[in-house]
Amino acid sequence: MAALPDLVVREMQSADVGARIDYFHDATDEHLRTMGVDRGLLPTKEAWRARIEADLARPIRERTGYALVWELAGRMVGFSATDQIEFGKQAFMHLHILRPEERHAGLGAEFVTLSAAAFFRVLEIERLFCEPNALNVAPNRTLQRAGFRYLFSHETIPGPINFRQVTTRWVLERPESR
């Protein structure tokens, strides 16, 4: 796939947090289900924003999460958030293109590659995991396309906003040359 020159990955800032939260709160039931998210477990917008803002104020080594905004020609089209960060070791990544009509057009695979490089650099991690719902085809295909290696599938509750589900765990090791 040819590189897309207009793609930029940058750190998520306070001004972007509303779009991230609205993405979940405004999502259809079907979209949340596909992602394995339980609407009843979403924090209120206010509580969620307060939590993210507090985290943004911490030094990078003490963050519970770290997120990137995906921009196409200067416009936010998606984001990638990490959690379960063990600084210097590993983190788990999530992938989201905001608008359905901009999915499945080759952007995700490109952004994942750019995001992985940023996560390795900023979080100084050795390995990056992603663990989507096993039945959610798009992220599973995208991770494979971006060079992630399949590890295993298991039944779990992968995060605080998720219901119990079968997930697939993928990993990307830090490239040798930095």
Cβ 119 to ligand COA shortest distance, Å: 14
Between 35 and 52, CB nearer to ligand COA = 35
Cβ 133 to ligand COA shortest distance, Å: 7
Counting contacts by CB under 6 A, is residue 2 touching ligand COA? no
Strand pairing class (127-130; 90-97): parallel
Which residues have C-beta within 8 Å of that of residue 146, sequence separation ≥ 6?
109, 112, 113, 116, 172
Cβ 143 to ligand COA shortest distance, Å: 9
Which residues have C-beta within 8 Å of that of residue 62, sequence separation ≥ 6?
none
What track of x and - describes contact with ligand COA for positions 77 through 106 (by CB under 6 A)? -----------------xxxx-----xxxx
Contact 24, 160 (CB under 8 A): no
Q: What letter represents residue 166's amino acid?
A: V
| Subset of residues 14 to 53 that bind ligand COA, contact rule: CB under 6 A | 34-35
